[in-house]
Structure 1
Amino acid sequence: MRPDILNPLFTPTDTLEGVGPKLAKPLNKLGLNRLRDVAYHLPERFVTRRAVANLDDAGAGEQVVIALVPTEHQASRGRGPYRVLAQDDAGNICALTYFGRASYSARKLLPVGEKRWVAGRIDQYGQMLQIVHPDHVVAEGGDTLRRLCEPVYRLAEGLTQPKLASLVAQTLEKLPSLPEWIAPSLLDRMQWPAWSDALELAHRGEHAAARDRLAYDELLANSLALLLVRADNRRKKGRSLAGDGRLRDRVELPFPLTGAQTRSIGEIEADLAQEAPMLRLLQGDVGAGKTVVALAAMLIAAEAGAQAALLAPTEILARQHFETLRRMTAPTGVQIALLTGRDKGRSREGTLLGLMDGSIDIVIGTHAIFQDNVNYRDLGLVVIDEQHRFGVSQRLALSGKGRRTPHTLAMTATPIPRTLTLAQYGEMDVSRLDELPPGRQAIDTRVVALDRMDSVVAGVGRHIAGGQQAYWVCPMVHDDETSEMAAAEARYAALREIFGADVVMVHGQMKSEDKDAAMECFAAGEAKLLVATTVIEVGVDVPSATLMVIEQAERFGLAQLHQLRGRVGRGAEKSTCLLLRGDMLSETARDRLTLMRETQDGFLLAEEDLRLRGGGELLGTRQSGDTPFNVATLEQIQRLLPVAHDDARMLLDRAEAEGADGKPGAALAGERGDAARTLLYLFERDFGVRTLRGG
């Protein structure tokens, strides 16, 4: 149960003055449903103004506060601007310019002959200075002068900066006094303010120490929650799975194991032999052979008399895994089944019965394999493919399907920088596949200007005519009048006119059965060109596809480009990736495309992507079930997360050394432990909170 001290922060925003049904809609759109949300809706930037006595002191482009007296109102015909001419104390003239409905308020705000304090940006308009849509117009100077440094918040339609600033001010007045969860020595060393002071300062101006302290709070909450989950997992009663090799020895592998695969299988085998349930992440670059490692783990479970389940994020990937693993395990006699949401009738009933009586050793499927009506005789191992599409909460939900807590192996083909691995998977041990199998050819990667589209299309035509297949990836599904980005549907229509029935399309807004049909048509070689969005980013394996065209490649992150490129180069033939770029490239976009051309090391690309972006989303796209951070920036994560992780570990280790009774809840004892519990609830790290409740 949440501590009572936090109740004021979890009060609905409709308790604030001025919030009614009309304002509730934009607040809800921004996720500002409680006072806590408003308090942590930090400014995106600040406007800093200078108070000037007259217009001669102001430069064009400068943000100022100045006293002006309106002398004349000028209304234009039609949709033209509404101007109010005003003069300063020295008689200099400035135009206050309004467009649209704002002109109505200008008539009331700026009566002729009455002094007003005006805040806004001075610009040159012909021979005259002007302020377009002044930010503030008030009769008394004090209020405007207090806004010399003013926060600028992210808004939604129907919400204004002054209104949101008013809600923030009301919220800050209601902040409770919370116990301090940061060690005094760290507070002193970093010169960080107390929690409530930090929130006040962060809303008031550019205060780096306050922002860092708030980011650290979030990072500490996350680290603490993940370490609690890890500690709790190690206390659970699992089962030792010791294989004898009889099944693994009979598997027909397409190539010898790499050193990284052998090392990772050894780490997994050692974990499975322990009674404490394994919780391990397998990171593998594109084409590094994660599936073979996962198969070895599942066969160890089968050798030990247990069942294994492989969870895939899409039906396409689940079916692909099923066919691949069934082919490789044919000589072993292992029974493998497929279970997805599309399976119905007798086929589904037969699979459910086989899982219940133990005649099925390995099941592969989507989330359907963990529905309430799916029961296992003895589930010993869960493998989760494309782990970044599932969050901590989903990982924890899987543990209820075995008689004892099953071992868990999570896999991701998205190379993640080490710092972010700690942030996202801090409760897991990590194995890395950083070698490619022998014979895997480098993909010839070229950057091509979009104005060479005709020659690219002609090249695709020659490729198809030669009996090979190709992908064409676009950054959007539909055309958008406000964007020049290519739409998959428009590109599909254009290419279909040229190449006819050889072209099929896949995107995320299609029905599952339509997507699967298009993919199956392409995989079977019936279609030669697949037009798609990033829905094909992960798991699609068509060895005969040897050309990848990525349109407007500068719009994608490095990790995503690397994943898309990895859809080709899967067979014996030489493969090519064409990165089509627009004319207006930022320096970052140019660097990104250069890196793609120069290296195929996914882990290096992930580190460089983090360095180049310096902000934005953590893993290319936020697809996990638990969004990691809302306050901390990437720069702060890199700088502060190692400190927070060590601090959280020390907090738990100290409690254990002082004789906590072995339950996870008891691991946070004492004054600082109680404060840390409050922190977990404040940042709603539910997976950590549930662990505490279990104690």
Structure 2
Amino acid sequence: MRDERLFSLFEPIDSLTGIGPKLKPVFERLVDGEHVWDLLLHLPDRWLDRRVKASFEELVPGEVATVQGEVHAYKAPYTDRAPHRIQLFDGTGFLTLTFFRADPRWLQGQFPIGKERIVSGLITDYQGERQMSHPDYVLDPVKSERPPAVEPIYRLTAGLTNKRVHNAALAALEHVPDDLPEWLGNDLLTDRKWPAFKAALQGLHAPQSFDEDAFALCKERLAYDEALARETVFAFARLARAQKDAPALVSSIEALNRVATSLPYKMTSAQIRAVKDVSGDLAEAHPMRRMLQGDVGSGKTLVATLAAVKAVSAGYQAAFMAPTEVLARQQYENIAALLGPLGYEVAALTGRDRGTAREGTLMGLADGSIQIVAGTQALFQEGVRFNKLGLIVVDEQHRFGVMDRMRLASKAAAPHMLVMSATPIPRTLAQAVHGDLDISILDEKPPGRQPIETRVIADTRLDEVVDAVGRAMARDERVFWVCPRVDADDDDASAVQRAAMLQDWLKAPVGLVHGRLRGEEKDEALEAFRSGKTRILVATTVIEVGVDVPDATIMVIERAEGFGLAQLHQLRGRVGRGTRKSYCLLLYRPPIGDLARERLETLRRTEDGFEIAEADFRLRGPGDLLGVRQSGAVDYRVLDLAEHADLIPVARTDARYAIERDPGLTGERGQALSLLRELLSPLVREGK
């Protein structure tokens, strides 16, 4: 039940004066909601200083300004396309007001010669003359008329003016209760110089003076409120998990050592740290929820495999879930190659399995003889039964929905869960996205991984690139060729057209894979490329994660300037997995802009996925980072991750401390935090 003190904020948006049946859907579309509170969360993008300047001499072209002057002259247009001109004089100079297609009688009534007028609008320069076209305000100072000292400017949609949205926001402010308790600590308010909650809303929607520092503090206060609301929900999730019983997977270190000593290489320090993190979690009697985040080729699968060994050694089974059959089969092959010789029973289960083979796998899972299984969503189908499932590993976790993970978790009472992501994202963004998970980061590459030489090439040199591809194929190497779209009649950089061209040019079979193919067709094309039946694979970005082909040495990406850095880095990671020198060729269509050039140069300069992610975050913001949008990181209403990222760890500490002191939120601050959660956490309002 919603607290009655919030009832007024959750009234329908058309309860506000001036919003009738016609405007109701327009406002709802603008604010992405249907309540008064949603309108208040639609904060201004900027504020205009409408204070009257002392003289025309202060006017700067390109800025909005408010001035007062005497009407000096009126000039009628000399052609239909020319504007009416009104000349104002303030003793220091002239300002010309221009009006196109205006009624001359209205103009002369508004601007009588010799009378003072206040005007406000955008200042421009025309042939060395200061001008203002169609002023936003025309006021008579004799009548004590003044524009607002500061005017909030909102993002709009068709059918709404800024004035109408502002008036609606002013009406919405009247619905904010005066008796809401303060949910922030006094120390934080004092240190940060933040206003109270209602004062922050008023300071943004109805400021009394133009003060950019005050606007920033008001927004920062509300951004922290939003971070705290979400972190409180995450803190509760952790608390609930800590109170849930799970099998403590305790086993001797011998099993892990047997696997480690069988490796043909030495584990990295990052892998060893991650194994310790996971082992510690598995030994606890409550469910592990940990994310293993690592760059392409950082060795996540080995860490997950050692976690599976720990589960099996404690008498339980482990299940690996991948988003596609090819990735699941690939995972199965890697795990079986490592653990099979040591006596572990490893199996695969995907939609491709039929008949006797499938029945044998199902029986082995049910009786426990199969200890580790790698599969797709087929793992959580109704007919699949586990004997004693203790650990779930979800690979490329952003490709699965929450319900997919829950269905697999339902195969056991309270299994431990490890999710893996090959998408490096900035640490602060990872906290925002995965706030309910513990995070282990693999920031080193195992020894032996080949560096990839990245070159940025104009597509006018396409013939040279194709010749280089032909030479690589003659050396029995394999080549990925990525196109930005599937098919377009007028674009030879589309996958279908490029595959046909390459087949004709190279006189060799060319594989083709894209999102319009059926699952089986994609798998067949990828398998043909892995096995060497085809040595060049033309694809869209469907191959950006997980496909492991050690003989692939060249990655060509056409129209690379149109891709995000994170996506380019993922695609580049498909090569350099064997012992041969590998290349990534970024083809661009000139000319390109400065931003696109900076992205390509960043990729050419470094292979560090986390450095690349930071650059992508800085250049493009969080919304475009691979996998982030699906996970909900960008559904903040106030908090700007690029601007307010430092608030998230503060809010996390604050929330955990509050929940530890008052788990039931029954105290004075706890009750206030409950109100905040209702207001600003979509996880609560949507019942997640």
TM over 0.5: same fold?
yes
Q: Deviations over 1:81-119 (max 9, x none)?
A: 68444443688643334xxxxx7xx66996554349764
Q: What displacement does 1:209 show?
A: 0.6
**Partner residue of 2:633?**
627
3-state SS, counterpart of residue 576 of structure 1: strand
**Partner residue of 2:444?**
435
3-state SS, counterpart of residue 543 of structure 1: coil
Q: What displacement does 1:270 show?
A: 3.2
Q: Are residue 304 (structure 1) and residue 330 (structure 2) matched?
A: no
CA distance in 2, matches of 1:158, 1:11: 22
Q: Are residue 606 (structure 1) and residue 602 (structure 2) matched?
A: no
The TM-score normalised by the length of structure 1 is: 0.82
**Partner residue of 1:217?**
225
Deviates more, 1:236-245 or 1:211-220: 236-245
**Partner residue of 2:41?**
40
Q: Are residue 188 (structure 1) and residue 183 (structure 2) matched?
A: no
Count of residue correspondences? 664
1:468 to 467, 477, 483: 477
1:32-71 matched pairs, under 5 angstroms? 32-49=33-50, 51=52, 58-65=59-66
CA distance in 2, matches of 1:366, 1:110: 72
3-state SS, counterpart of residue 530 of structure 1: strand
**Partner residue of 1:560?**
567
AA aligned opposite 2:473: I
Q: Are residue 238 (structure 1) and residue 264 (structure 2) matched?
A: no
1:96 to 59, 83, 99: 99
Q: Identify if the C-alpha distance between structure 1 residues 444 and 159 changes in structure 2 by more than 3 Å, giving closer, same or farther.
A: same
The TM-score normalised by the length of structure 2 is: 0.83
3-state SS, counterpart of residue 542 of structure 2: helix
1:114 to 98, 110, 117: 110
Q: Deviations over 1:172-199 (max 9, x none)?
A: 2222343211101110111101112112
1:229-308 matched pairs, under 5 angstroms? 229-243=237-251, 249=258, 255-308=265-318
3-state SS, counterpart of residue 632 of structure 1: coil
CA distance in 2, matches of 1:410, 1:541: 19
Q: Deviations over 1:44-101 (max 9, x none)?
A: 333445646997764432323468898647885xxxx68444443688643334xxxx
**Partner residue of 2:114?**
none
Q: Identify if the C-alpha distance between structure 1 residues 32 and 411 changes in structure 2 by more than 3 Å, giving closer, same or farther.
A: same
3-state SS, counterpart of residue 535 of structure 1: helix
Deviates more, 1:48-57 or 1:145-154: 48-57
CA distance in 1, matches of 2:611, 2:124: 46
3-state SS, counterpart of residue 32 of structure 2: coil
CA distance in 1, matches of 2:536, 2:251: 44
Q: Are residue 154 (structure 1) and residue 155 (structure 2) matched?
A: yes
CA distance in 2, matches of 1:150, 1:487: 48
Conserved? CA contact 1:375–1:401, under 8 Å: no
3-state SS, counterpart of residue 631 of structure 2: coil
AA aligned opposite 1:292: L
AA aligned opposite 2:294: G
CA distance in 2, matches of 1:39, 1:309: 46
Deviates more, 1:534-543 or 1:462-471: 462-471
Q: Deviations over 1:235-283 (max 9, x none)?
A: 1111122346669847975645444334433432332233222222222
2:534 to 512, 527, 547: 527
Q: Deviations over 1:322-377 (max 9, x none)?
A: 3433444444351423235x778887777666545545433433445345665534
**Partner residue of 2:394?**
384
3-state SS, counterpart of residue 617 of structure 1: helix
Percent identity for Structure 1 against Structure 2: 42
2:419 to 410, 413, 425: 410
**Partner residue of 1:208?**
216
**Partner residue of 1:538?**
545
Q: Identify if the C-alpha distance between structure 1 residues 464 and 107 changes in structure 2 by more than 3 Å, giving closer, same or farther.
A: farther
CA distance in 2, matches of 1:505, 1:424: 34
Conserved? CA contact 1:138–1:144, under 8 Å: no
2:235 to 200, 204, 227: 227
AA aligned opposite 1:617: G
Q: What displacement does 1:600 show?
A: 2.3
**Partner residue of 2:200?**
198
AA aligned opposite 2:295: D
Q: What displacement does 1:568 show?
A: 0.6
Conserved? CA contact 1:390–1:624, under 8 Å: no
Q: What displacement does 1:383 show?
A: 0.9
Conserved? CA contact 1:118–1:144, under 8 Å: no
AA aligned opposite 1:114: Q
CA distance in 1, matches of 2:145, 2:661: 52
The alignment's C-alpha RMSD in Å is 4.1
Q: Deviations over 1:408-440 (max 9, x none)?
A: 112121223333333333433333323322221
Conserved? CA contact 2:564–2:624, under 8 Å: no
Conserved? CA contact 1:226–1:688, under 8 Å: no
CA distance in 2, matches of 1:519, 1:374: 27
Q: What displacement does 1:12 show?
A: 3.5
CA distance in 2, matches of 1:397, 1:93: 67
CA distance in 1, matches of 2:679, 2:196: 15
3-state SS, counterpart of residue 480 of structure 2: strand
Q: Identify if the C-alpha distance between structure 1 residues 689 and 131 changes in structure 2 by more than 3 Å, giving closer, same or farther.
A: closer
1:419 to 399, 416, 428: 428
**Partner residue of 1:662?**
none
Deviates more, 1:220-229 or 1:462-471: 462-471
Conserved? CA contact 1:13–1:19, under 8 Å: no
**Partner residue of 1:644?**
651
**Partner residue of 2:167?**
166
CA distance in 1, matches of 2:259, 2:183: 55
1:686 to 672, 683, 686: 683
Q: Identify if the C-alpha distance between structure 1 residues 195 and 130 changes in structure 2 by more than 3 Å, giving closer, same or farther.
A: same
CA distance in 1, matches of 2:552, 2:687: 47
**Partner residue of 1:617?**
623
CA distance in 2, matches of 1:642, 1:502: 53
**Partner residue of 2:674?**
677
CA distance in 1, matches of 2:184, 2:251: 46
Conserved? CA contact 2:291–2:438, under 8 Å: yes
Q: Can you give the 5+ residue segments of structure 2 that lack an aligned partner in the other structure?
A: 112-116
Conserved? CA contact 1:54–1:88, under 8 Å: no
1:563-574 matched pairs, under 5 angstroms? 563-574=570-581
3-state SS, counterpart of residue 123 of structure 1: strand
CA distance in 2, matches of 1:262, 1:641: 28
Conserved? CA contact 1:61–1:123, under 8 Å: yes
Q: What displacement does 1:7 show?
A: 3.0
3-state SS, counterpart of residue 628 of structure 2: coil
Q: What displacement does 1:40 show?
A: 1.7
Conserved? CA contact 1:337–1:360, under 8 Å: no
**Partner residue of 1:659?**
none
3-state SS, counterpart of residue 88 of structure 1: strand
Q: Deviations over 1:556-614 (max 9, x none)?
A: 4443332222111011111011233565666665554444333323234334544x438
Q: Deviations over 1:369-399 (max 9, x none)?
A: 34566553432111121234457x5598368
CA distance in 1, matches of 2:104, 2:382: 64
Conserved? CA contact 2:423–2:626, under 8 Å: no
3-state SS, counterpart of residue 287 of structure 2: coil
CA distance in 2, matches of 1:71, 1:579: 59
Q: Can you give the 5+ residue segments of structure 1 that lack an aligned partner in the other structure?
A: 98-102, 656-664
Conserved? CA contact 1:219–1:637, under 8 Å: no
AA aligned opposite 2:287: P
Conserved? CA contact 1:447–1:578, under 8 Å: yes
Conserved? CA contact 1:339–1:351, under 8 Å: no
AA aligned opposite 1:603: F
3-state SS, counterpart of residue 237 of structure 1: coil
CA distance in 2, matches of 1:155, 1:229: 37
Q: Identify if the C-alpha distance between structure 1 residues 477 and 670 changes in structure 2 by more than 3 Å, giving closer, same or farther.
A: farther
CA distance in 1, matches of 2:118, 2:500: 58
CA distance in 2, matches of 1:110, 1:485: 58
3-state SS, counterpart of residue 580 of structure 1: strand
